[in-house]
Amino acid sequence: MRTKTTLYILVIMLFILLGIVYAVETYIPQVSVTTIESEALAGFFDSSTMVQLSDWHFIGIGWRERQVLETVEAIHPALILMTGDYIDYGIDFDQLRECFRRLRRIAPVIAILGNNDDFCRDSLRRICAETGIELLRNQTARLVHGADTVYIVGTGDNTRWRDNYYLAVKGLTPDNRRIVLAHAPAIAEMIDSSGVELILSGHIHGGQIVFPIVGALYSNRTPYVSRVYWEGLYSVHGMPVYSNRGIGTSDLPIRFLSRPEIAVFSFVPTESMERPAGIKE
């Protein structure tokens, strides 16, 4: 009898533990801070930070989304950049509008579309226009801060071959320093590095469900590149490329060892720091 009671207790404790792990890994966003070495961006942002958000897979403003909004508000960045996949089945567009409105109150927001957004792009254009978010599709936005200028280059969805980087940068010179937004990090293998200070992307969700030793269950691989840029900072052809784990989930409503991510970037002048920790070649 005692053995059976002990077994029941252990089973209950296991389910409680699994519930905690599920809640933490799937719903509690993690702030990652990355320092990028760049004269142009250090001059433009001064001591301010920039935030990247990606892959919301938004249905409504739930606990996770409120945590993201409150955390970004506390960070108080100078700029918010978003790299696509806002839409998911059952989305409440009114709540998405409110989410975007709250983000725009925090800082200027520039966004691009992802593959999930393809069939709702007109609705997203309207919501972005209504909330003051600048939506780029193979376009460039020029940002000026004092004497410093930075260009934000936003491509179309490069998982469906709707991107045209060279159309977006038409008229720019190699001296025009830029941050490139592309839904998938595959863009890094396709473009000229001239003027590129940083590439921001998402799409892969960091694997979303990652098992020790075995690896990721959810690869979301783009077939025409040489590798998967799972998460974090990489160097590709000399360009810093950041692959964001994103906020929401796709296919399965669970994350494991790949928590929702709020990526925060600070910038320092060239050669003022050692090689960034964790950068992958």
pLDDT of residue 273: 55
The 10s digit of each residue's pLDDT in 7-60 is: 777 777 778 877 787 788 899 999 999 999 999 999 999 999 999 999 999 999
- Cα 158 to Cα 67, 73, 103, 191, distances in angstroms: 29, 30, 25, 12
Residue 211: predicted pLDDT: 86
Q: Which residues touch 40 (CB under 8 Å, ≥6 apart)?
A: 148, 150, 177, 197
Q: What is the mean pLDDT of residues 213-237?
A: 79
pLDDT, tens digit, for every residue of 134-161?
Answer: 999 999 999 999 999 999 999 999 998 9
Task: Determine the Cα–Cα distance for residues 250 and 5; give it in Å rounded to an integer.
Answer: 39
Distance CA 53, CA 71 (A): 12
pLDDT tens across 170-211, in order? 999 999 999 999 999 999 999 999 999 999 999 999 999 898
Q: How far apart are CA 188 and CA 186, in angstroms?
A: 5
Q: What is the pLDDT of residue 272?
A: 57
Inform me whether the pLDDT recorded for 278 exceeds 80: no
pTM above 0.85, yes or no: yes
